[in-house]
C-alpha cells in the first residue's frame, strides 16, 4: 500500500502535455498512450503524481489532419506548430484553445511546472528533447532530459538541443517558454527508426518501447519534483553530452509555416 497525504487542489502544480500536432507522427500517440496508462494506473508513483499535480492533457492537437490522412498539416494546409504566437480561432482552433488553457493558468498564478509537446522524428535516432536555454545560465531546462537519460533506455541526452532558433519562434515550446514564462518547455522527439546507443542499440523502435518511454517520462516527473531548487546545480557538471548547436543549425527542423513542396518531411518540432 502507499500512504499518501492528500494535497488540496489549490496547492497542486500543473503539468500540460500535448501530442500529434503533426498527424503523421503516430509514434507520439504511442508515447502519450504510455503516459495515460501509467497516470491512470494503481502504481504508487502514479498515485503520488496525481496527488502532487493537475495534468492538463491534449492527446491529439490535429484530429482533422489525422482523420483526413495528412502527414503534417491541418485542413487549412498549414503547419499548426508554426502558429502559436497568434493562433486564429477558426483557422487554428486547437492551438488557439490549447494556448488559452496555458494563458489562463499563468494569469491565475498556476504557471505550469512542465510543458511537453510529443512529436516524431523521421531521420534522427533515439528519443530526445528540444528545450529552451535559460539566458540566466541556471540550466534548469536540462534537469528533465538528464533524468530521462539516466532512466529511459531509448533516451539520448547527446541528441538533445536547447537552441532557440528564429525559425522556431512560433512553435509551442518556444512560445510557451518565451511568452508564457514556462522554463521547462519541451518538444520530445521519438524516432521513426531505431536506437544507435544504449541497450536498444541497433534495434528498431516498436510501440512497446514508445509506451515504455511514456512510463519513464512520468517517473522522471516525480524525480524532477524532488530535485533541490539550486539554480547552479549543473555548474560543476560536464555538459559535453548535451548538443549545443550554433544559431541557424538546429538539425532537421523544418521552418516553413505552410505545407508547400518546400516543407521537408522531417517530422519534428
Q: DSSP of 48-81, one letter per residue?
A: HHHHHEEEEEES-S-HHHHHTT-SS--TTSB-GG
Round the average pLDDT of the chain to a whole number and report it: 87
| Partners of 190 in beta bridges | 120, 127
Query: Is 25 an annotated catalytic residue?
Result: no
Q: What is the pLDDT of residues 43-90, one digit of tens each?
A: 999 999 999 999 999 999 999 999 999 999 999 999 999 999 999 999
Closest Cα partner for 74 from 252, 258, 253, 262?
Answer: 258
Residues contacting residue 77 through CB under 8 Å, at least 6 positions apart: 258, 259
Q: What is the pLDDT of residues 201-260, one digit of tens each?
A: 999 999 999 999 999 999 999 999 888 754 445 443 444 355 444 333 343 344 444 443
Please pick, among 25, 165, 189, 253, the residue that the annotation labels catalytic.
189
The helix (H) or strand (E) run that includes residue 225 is: helix 207-226
Task: Map residue 204 onto helix, strand or coil.
Answer: strand
Amino acid at each position: 500500500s502507499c500512504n499518501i497525504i492528500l494535497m488540496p487542489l489549490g496547492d497542486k502544480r500543473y503539468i500540460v502535455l500535448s501530442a500529434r500536432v503533426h498527424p503523421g507522427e503516430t509514434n507520439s500517440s504511442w508515447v502519450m498512450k504510455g503516459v495515460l496508462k501509467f497516470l491512470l494506473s494503481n502504481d504508487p508513483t502514479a498515485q503520488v503524481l496525481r496527488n502532487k499535480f493537475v495534468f492538463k492533457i491534449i492527446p491529439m492537437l490535429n484530429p482533422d489532419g489525422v482523420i483526413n490522412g495528412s502527414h503534417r498539416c491541418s485542413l487549412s494546409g498549414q503547419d499548426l506548430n508554426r502558429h502559436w504566437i497568434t493562433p486564429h480561432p477558426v483557422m487554428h482552433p486547437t492551438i488557439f484553445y490549447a494556448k488559452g488553457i496555458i494563458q489562463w493558468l499563468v494569469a491565475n498564478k498556476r504557471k505550469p511546472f512542465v510543458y511537453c509537446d510529443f512529436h516524431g522524428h523521421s531521420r534522427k535516432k533515439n528519443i530526445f528533447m528540444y528545450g529552451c536555454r535559460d539566458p540566466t545560465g541556471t540550466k534548469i531546462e536540462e534537469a528533465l532530459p538528464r533524468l530521462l537519460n539516466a532512466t529511459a533506455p531509448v533516451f539520448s541526452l547527446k541528441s538533445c538541443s536547447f537552441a532557440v532558433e528564429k525559425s522556431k519562434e512560433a512553435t509551442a515550446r518556444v512560445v510557451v517558454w518565451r511568452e508564457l514564462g514556462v522554463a521547462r518547455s519541451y518538444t520530445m522527439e521519438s524516432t521513426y527508426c531505431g536506437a544507435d546507443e544504449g541497450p536498444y542499440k541497433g534495434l528498431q523502435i516498436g510501440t512497446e518501447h514508445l509506451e515504455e518511454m511514456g512510463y519513464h517520462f512520468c517517473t522522471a516527473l516525480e524525480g524532477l519534483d524532488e530535485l533541490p531548487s539550486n539554480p547552479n546545480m549543473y555548474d560543476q557538471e560536464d555538459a559535453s553530452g548535451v548538443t549545443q548547436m550554433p544559431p541557424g543549425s538546429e538539425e532537421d527542423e523544418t521552418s516553413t509555416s505552410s505545407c508547400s513542396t518546400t516543407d521537408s518531411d522531417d517530422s519534428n518540432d
